[in-house]
Amino acid sequence: MQHQSVLENWLRGIALALIVLFFMFPIFWILLMSLQTNETILRSPPSMVFSPTLSNYQAIFAGRLDSNAASLDIRFLGNLWNSIILSVGSVGVALLFGVPAAYAFARYKFRGSEDIAFTLLSFRFAPPLLVLLPLTSYFQTLGIADTYFGLIWVYQLICLPLILWIVRGYFEDIPADVEHAYRIAGHGWFATFRNIALPLARPGIAAAGLLAFIFAWNNFIFALVLASADKQPVTVGALAFVTASGIQYGQIAAAVVLSIAPTLALALYAQRYLVEGLSLGAVKG
């Protein structure tokens, strides 16, 4: 690494810059779009020069969508709130059940443990549409269609396997001796789980939680079928911008910016734990 030439460093820098540009450009473009009116967005050829306007954001916060032809009520902020409830709720539930389950799968080899773990993973293989139809009818019978409870339950299909499998790997990476040592020191199995396994797997739990949150946040199909207007998350709510009189690109862009903001904030916050996880990798010391 020491005798790397300057040229090599430059090329590496340029390559990295290109990759960053490639992945960041759509987000950057959306940000620009959210500050423009539909006319400037649709102008050809597109230009980066425009006078920025906050009218899109104003419309979203006011809850009224004014277009040339008509004005329409939207409840984007309500959708945003739904997204938060659904994502936080389902990740919370998934952590509550998934983390202890992951620990059990990692540490105790019981009859059929691999089969159960695999079955849970296989929920991720099945296309959601496959389960949606029967689910809709079940939910109506049970009376939990169109409730937060029912949606969070269905979201476990997304969150639980993810958390279970990621966190299980982290638990397995903790040397068994460290846990043995704590038990021999006189602590019961639950204290060992709480004081040794949980703190040492925390980076993994944070990563899995973050990932599950993003998946839950981005989910479209479950909410589209099972939720009515007042329970819809942003992904479904964004459909409202596709109106009979045209597509409100500016507002969609503003909505997108607003809806990625919470995930972005969460990712930045969780980054601390993710990095900590990398540096704590030398558990075997």
Partner 1 sequence: MSVTAGLSVTSLSKSFKDLQVLDKVTFDVPKSETLVLFGPSGAGKTVLLRCIAGAVDADSGTVQIDGDDVTQVPPESRGVGMAFQNFALFPHMNAFENIASPLRAQRQPRLSLAETVDSVARLLKIDHVLDHAPRELSNGQKQRTALARALAAEPGLLLLDDPLRNVDAKLRFEMRLELPRLLADRQATVVYVTQDYKEAMALGDRIAVLDQGRIVQIGSAAAIYRRPANITIAKLFGDPVINLLEVVPEREKQAISVQVSNQQIMLPHAADDVIGRPCMLGIRPEDIAITAPDVPAAVPVSIEAETPLNEKIVSLAITQRGRELLASRPADVASPSAGAAGFLFNGDGVMLFDRESERRIDMQSDSGKKTA
Binding site for partner 1 (CB under 8 A): 175-178, 180-189, 191, 196, 199-200, 280, 282-285
Q: How far is the CB of 179 from partner 1 (least distance, A)?
A: 9
Task: Specify the residue, 48 or 184, whose C-beta has the smaller distance to partner 1.
Answer: 184
* CA 140/CA 146 separation, integer angstroms: 9
246: part of which helix (H) or strand (E)?
strand 246-247
Task: Specify the residue, 3 or 109, whose C-beta has the smaller distance to partner 1.
Answer: 109
Q: How far is the CB of 192 from partner 1 (least distance, A)?
A: 9
3-class SS at 209? helix
Tell me the one-letter amino acid at 3: H
Q: How far is the CB of 174 from partner 1 (least distance, A)?
A: 9
Task: Specify the residue, 6 or 184, whose C-beta has the smaller distance to partner 1.
Answer: 184
Q: How far is the CB of 271 from partner 1 (least distance, A)?
A: 19
* CA 32/CA 157 separation, integer angstroms: 36
Tell me the one-letter amino acid at 183: R
Task: Specify the residue, 175 or 246, whose C-beta has the smaller distance to partner 1.
Answer: 175
Number of H helices, E strands in the chain: 13, 4
Q: How far is the CB of 112 from partner 1 (least distance, A)?
A: 18
Task: Specify the residue, 57 or 189, whose C-beta has the smaller distance to partner 1.
Answer: 189
243: part of which helix (H) or strand (E)?
strand 242-243
Looking at residue 126, what DSSP letter applies?
Answer: S
Q: How far apart are the first and last CA of the chain?
A: 26
